[in-house]
Amino acid sequence: MSQAHERPTLEAVARLAGVSRATVSRVVNGSPKVAEPIRSAVRRAVEELGYIPNAAARSLVTQRTDSIALVLPESASRVFSDDPFFPSIIHGVSQELDAADKQLVLMMTNTVAGYERVERYTTARHVDGVLFASTHGVDPLPGQLSRLGVPVVVTGRPLGRSTVPYVDVDHVGGVRAAVRHLLETGHSRIATIAGPQDMVAGIDRLAGYRAELHGSDRRSIVAVGDFTRESGATAMRQLLEDDPLLDAVFVASDLMAHGAITTLRELGRRIPDDVAVVGFDDFDISRYTDPPLTTVRQPILELGRELARQLLRVIAGEDVDQAVVLPTELVVRASA
Amino acid sequence: MSQAHERPTLEAVARLAGVSRATVSRVVNGSPKVAEPIRSAVRRAVEELGYIPNAAARSLVTQRTDSIALVLPESASRVFSDDPFFPSIIHGVSQELDAADKQLVLMMTNTVAGYERVERYTTARHVDGVLFASTHGVDPLPGQLSRLGVPVVVTGRPLGRSTVPYVDVDHVGGVRAAVRHLLETGHSRIATIAGPQDMVAGIDRLAGYRAELHGSDRRSIVAVGDFTRESGATAMRQLLEDDPLLDAVFVASDLMAHGAITTLRELGRRIPDDVAVVGFDDFDISRYTDPPLTTVRQPILELGRELARQLLRVIAGEDVDQAVVLPTELVVRASA
DNA sequence: CCGGGCTGCGAGAGCGCTCTCAGAGCAGAG
DNA sequence: CTCTGCTCTGAGAGCGCTCTCGCAGCCCGG
């Protein structure tokens, strides 16, 4: 049954092929300086024994593990089942790492001990580098690891000063396009449901809204949510209390936009005739809402891929830009 | 900057504390047979040097890695961004592994080479065990690994004979409850949109539908989808062509049910008055469809957790049941 | 025919840890 | 006071691999 203990080692292959361990190692690792007859003899021995190198032994000497950690913050788990953001990031990262033949190790800091766990694990040289997705507030861990010599890349411009390389999307540009669209289509009372103000995504999107409104004679009407559907529904109700005559709302996430739409419909407002709605994300579901959601697309999959690519570059010792910002794009559908 | 090379070893700690490597190792691993004064001297040295054990060296001798692979099949990536199934599994697995202080290594077999990659990686003793989620058709890999001595647990009753332990949900029971509900509420022409017939979930849910209908004088009206929203929309159109008078439909996944609802609405059918709709999954979104979806809840998070728990038991050498089946439950909302 | 350079292979050290085994030290019994 | 038995610590082997280094064999030019 279990052949776990009898798994062949380099030594065994070497004996069978009648060569030294070093030569087998060369063949296995594709060194060019092995003569052809010997090479094929070794190949045959490897095949026959079903030899597979022991990863721990190898990385003990090479100091590499060929795996990469992706750290998702506490909040990730909370919204996990409803929010395709993290799955898409994971998917994108995984695509790039697959191509580079690296493994993805997922870590969630959803327990209190998680934070310390991540630190221990990554500094135990378990992984060659660490990716952080969507950190809240000012997270010291990325900088800390980076200072310890661990390659690190994060999503989202870090709050506070930090020299850790990051990948982000153009929140402000996307939001401005959205608000401009609302202005150009003749809306005069444009409100916003902002995201959490301890996250860059929340902060920047609100800033974009304010920036585009600034200079027009429109005043800003703001409510704040936490990117969940429920918070969007609540915030919409609040906005309508604040200004019953508002005729448009930019919502800082698609999920919150869905919540807002539910509220608007409950209160008998027609979309977009009474109130135009624009979201941010362009999740798949948003094509299927009623009406289909006008929203700002952010390339989440690509964000994940770029994140991984940057880290691989850092690991390879190449120079990388401290910031990579991916473009966003307004997708006009029926809701505005 | 980079302190990577100067990272302290056991040896260094031992020297500083004035003891042997063995004693430091004992303290680090919490062995009780170390006298208190020495123990605290070692602790101080560990603290002072910031010592963290090298994982590779440790697992080279212990033959354990304290990490677990979760393998998602090709199709996972395809539906990843729209289907909360895999995220929930990941989340559940991760909860249990966190508690056991194990790491989660994610692998997707979405490339052609992925299959072989998984095999190499897992047999390289990179992980202590392997979890498979939602395999399609008859996948030989789980059995193969299991025969090589690698602990394996899979989701979903395996097709074909297999002795690999699995965790699944009670598809048939849930579906029968759903169809019974439709019968009891006076529906006479009950159709179904089935899932892919190369997956247990697809097969069993169709079987449940047939089983409950059997004996009543109703005939079965079947279309097949692939669990995606689009396929649900298409299948619904097909069903209405086959039987324009049908008054209820059991749809084998929530996403397909959403598609079906879209189609029904486009064709002017009222839900549930003209056609009652029941789904399967109870995804979060299904509470927010219009009307809210009556559906069969399957405990996906719990499925992931149980999956991990079973594997941990196998790894610990305990006996486990070859099958664990979690209950499903009909959740009645407005669509039926 | 000899010496220098090159290529291909093997010997052996060592990566950082765990764990067995033996021995030192001490307490208590005889 | 000796002997037994126990507890605690250290020495050392070894996990499976990579990689440096040196040497053997060969080819070529002088």
For testing contact with chain B, the best of A49, A60, A63 (most B CBs within 10 A): A60
Separation of CA A146 and C1' D19 in angstroms?
A: 29
Cβ distance B286 to B318 under 8 Å?
Answer: no
Least confident residue range of A259-268, B19-28, B102-111, B181-190: B102-111
Closest nucleotide to B14, Cα to C1': D10
Per-residue buried b or exposed e for A122-141, using 16+ beta carbons within 10 Å of the residue's own CB? bbbbbbbbbbbbbbbeebeb
Cβ distance B128 to B65 under 8 Å?
Answer: yes
The one-letter amino acid code at B92 reads G
Q: Which residue in B56, B82, B103 is closest to A125 by CB distance?
A: B56
Helices A10-17, A21-28: inter-axial angle, 10-degree rounding: 100
B87 touches chain A (CB under 8 A): yes
Least confident residue range of A117-131, B53-67, B162-176, B241-255: A117-131
pLDDT at A27 over 90: yes
Query: How deeply is B150 buried, as exposed, middle or buried, from its count of CB atoms within 10 A (0-12, 13-18, 19+)?
Result: buried
Using DSSP's 3-state secondary structure scheme, residue A3 falls into coil
pLDDT band at residue B149 under the 50/70/90 scheme:
confident
Interface of B with A in 284-303 (CB under 8 A): 284-285, 288, 290, 300-301
Give the pLDDT of residue A128: 95
- List the one residue out of B236, B215, B221 whose CA is nearest residue B189: B221
Are B285 and A84 a contacting pair at CB < 8 A? Answer: no
Q: Which residue in B55, B107, B262 is closest to A124 by CB distance?
A: B55
Give the pLDDT of residue B20: 92
Q: Which residues contact A85 (CB under 8 A, 6 or more apart)?
A: A79, A134, A281, A300
**Percent over 90 (pLDDT), chain A:** 66
For testing contact with chain B, the best of A10, A52, A58, A290 (most B CBs within 10 A): A52
pLDDT band at residue B88 under the 50/70/90 scheme:
confident
Are A288 and B262 a contacting pair at CB < 8 A? Answer: yes
Question: What is the rounded CA–CA span in Å between residue B142 and residue B132?
Answer: 7
Least confident residue range of A254-263, A322-331, B284-293: B284-293
Q: Which residue in B53, B65, B123 is closest to A56 by CB distance?
A: B65
pLDDT tens figures, A275-285: 999 999 999 88
B104 touches chain A (CB under 8 A): yes
Question: What is the rounded CA–CA span in Å between residue B142 and residue B119?
Answer: 10
- DSSP secondary-structure letter at A287? G
Query: How deeply is A1 buried, as exposed, middle or buried, from its count of CB atoms within 10 A (0-12, 13-18, 19+)?
Result: exposed
> What are the backbone angles phi and psi of residue A89, rounded to the nearest 5°?
-60, -50
Are B55 and A290 a contacting pair at CB < 8 A? Answer: no
Are A55 and B126 a contacting pair at CB < 8 A? Answer: yes
Question: What is the rounded CA–CA span in Å between residue B92 and residue B81?
Answer: 18
A30 touches chain B (CB under 8 A): no
> DSSP H helical segments within chain A, as ranges?
10-17, 21-28, 36-49, 55-62, 74-79, 85-99, 114-123, 141-147, 171-184, 200-213, 229-242, 254-266, 300-315
pLDDT band at residue A5 under the 50/70/90 scheme:
very low
> What are the backbone angles phi and psi of residue B72, rounded to the nearest 5°?
-105, 135
Give the pLDDT of residue B40: 92
Q: Which residue in A59, A77, A99 is closest to B91 by CB distance?
A: A77
Residues with CB under 7 A from strand C: A 18-23, 33-35, 38, 57, 60-61; B 7, 9-11, 21-22, 25, 28-29, 51, 53-54, 57-58, 60-62
pLDDT tens figures, A200-238: 999 999 999 999 999 788 889 999 999 989 999 999 999
pLDDT band at residue B169 under the 50/70/90 scheme:
very high
pLDDT at B134 over 80: no
**Percent over 70 (pLDDT), chain B:** 94
Separation of CA B117 and C1' D24 in angstroms?
A: 40
Cβ of B324: how many Cβ atoms within 10 Å?
17
Q: What is the mean pLDDT of chain A?
A: 90
Give the pLDDT of residue A274: 97
| Nucleotides of strand D within 7 Å of the protein's CB atoms | 7-20
pLDDT at B68 over 60: yes
A9 touches chain B (CB under 8 A): no
Question: What is the rounded CA–CA span in Å between residue A185 and residue B42?
Answer: 71
A6 touches chain B (CB under 8 A): no
Give the pLDDT of residue A108: 80
Q: Which residue in A82, A98, A123 is closest to B52 by CB distance?
A: A123
B95 touches chain A (CB under 8 A): yes
Q: Count residue pairs from A and B with Cβ separation < 8 A.
A: 152
**Beta bridge pairs of residue A279:** A295
B56 touches chain A (CB under 8 A): yes
Distances (CA, A) of A253 to A83, A196, A257, B110: 10, 11, 6, 29
**Tokens representing residue B82 in the block:** 């729209």
**Tokens representing residue B238 in the block:** 């097909």
Cβ distance A10 to A25 under 8 Å?
Answer: yes
Cβ distance B303 to B151 under 8 Å?
Answer: no
**Percent over 90 (pLDDT), chain B:** 66
pLDDT tens figures, B180-239: 999 999 999 999 999 999 899 999 999 999 999 997 788 899 999 999 899 999 999 999
Are A149 and B2 a contacting pair at CB < 8 A? Answer: yes
Give the pLDDT of residue B2: 38
Question: What is the residue whose two structure tokens read 């006009």?
Answer: A332
Highest mean pLDDT among A83-92, A107-116, A142-151, A308-317: A308-317
- List the one residue out of B140, B146, B145, B147 whose CA is nearest residue B161: B140
Give the pLDDT of residue B81: 57
Give the pLDDT of residue B4: 43
- Structural domains of chain B, with CATH: 10-53 (1.10.260.40), 67-169+301-326 (3.40.50.2300), 171-297 (3.40.50.2300)
